[in-house]
Amino acid sequence: MSAQWPQLLYSLLVCFGSGTLAFLGISEVTASAHRSRKAVAIAAALLLLLGGVALVVSRGDINAVISMMNGATRGNFKSLAIVGTILSLFVAIAYTIVIFRADSYADEDEDADTGTAGKILGIIALIFGIALPVLMGLADAPVRVPWTKWAAPLAYLGNALAMGGTLAVSIIALGKSEIREFSRYSLLALVAVALQTAFFAIFAGNAGFAFDALTFWGGVVVIGCVIPLVCMAMAPKIRTLVFVATIGTVIGGICIRLLMQALAAGNPGLNLIFAATQHASLVG
């Protein structure tokens, strides 16, 4: 199965960063995981930045990216996703600055208070963290396969939250001081992985599960869903499993995007899907 890796990495990294941004927003809005927020904000910013770099590489020229952004005013999903990536990066950087400034004024034994600016940025981070993966899914959905226009955004959203959630929990685990927060966020990440599993199943069900067996059953189902679910369920007892869960969700994200690219390219193994969708459109 051939892959367009720069485009795939752009989509993956942006969704990874936006999912992390969503969990950063949750921590700010709920006033929890104070001591891990700086690291989570930096991680979100770096992932979004790397996603932007992958986008430039995929287009071959930054001028081509700038030109694509003009389509945002016409509601072009690819253009909107680029604008959303840039805005999300600004939010992550702005929050990082706010949290560092707040920390510099806080006493050694107290948590930093980000104030009104932090709360506003937290709400925006949560909104952008959910909206951006949906835009990416709409941008990547193959035009020739109609059902992907709604199933792809769901799959991308679930994957973004699963990757971001497990990464946030991994960062909290590294701190070793927020035991209560680790338990709370482990549960949130478990819910995110379960949501990803449900959305992946919806996506695959619409395709009649007619995918490359190794990529789907091995990469998406076993590594991307089953292993992270088991790891996050056991995480309260064995903290190190959160890192395995993060790796698993990333591999699952890569594999679901490989399948998306195969759909877009008209992979011979997927002729059944194309025949069914074309027949449905003719009948409709």
Number of other CB atoms surrounding residue 220 within 10 Å:
29
The whole-number pLDDT of residue 271 equals 41
pLDDT beneath 70: ranges in the chain: 1-3, 104-112, 267-284
Which domains are present in the chain? 5-283 (1.20.1630.10)
Q: Quote the CA–CA distance of 30 and 22 in Å, as a whole number.
A: 12
The whole-number pLDDT of residue 105 equals 65
pLDDT digits (tens, 9 = 90+) for 81-98: 999 999 999 999 999 999
- The answer to whether the beta carbons of residues 133 and 88 sit under 8 Å apart is no
Vertex 238: Cα angle to 235 and 243 (nearest 5): 65
Residue listed under structure tokens 């004024």: 105
How does DSSP assign 27-66, residue by residue? Answer: HHHTT--GGGHHHHHHHHHHHHHHHHHHHHHHHSSHHHHH
Q: Quote the CA–CA distance of 160 and 126 in Å, as a whole number.
A: 12
Longest dimension (CA), the chain: 69
Q: Which of 90, 86, 88, 100 lies closest to 37, judged by CA?
A: 100
Q: Quote the CA–CA distance of 66 and 82 in Å, as a whole number.
A: 9
Q: Quote the CA–CA distance of 211 and 201 in Å, as a whole number.
A: 12
The whole-number pLDDT of residue 273 equals 43
Residue listed under structure tokens 């679901």: 256
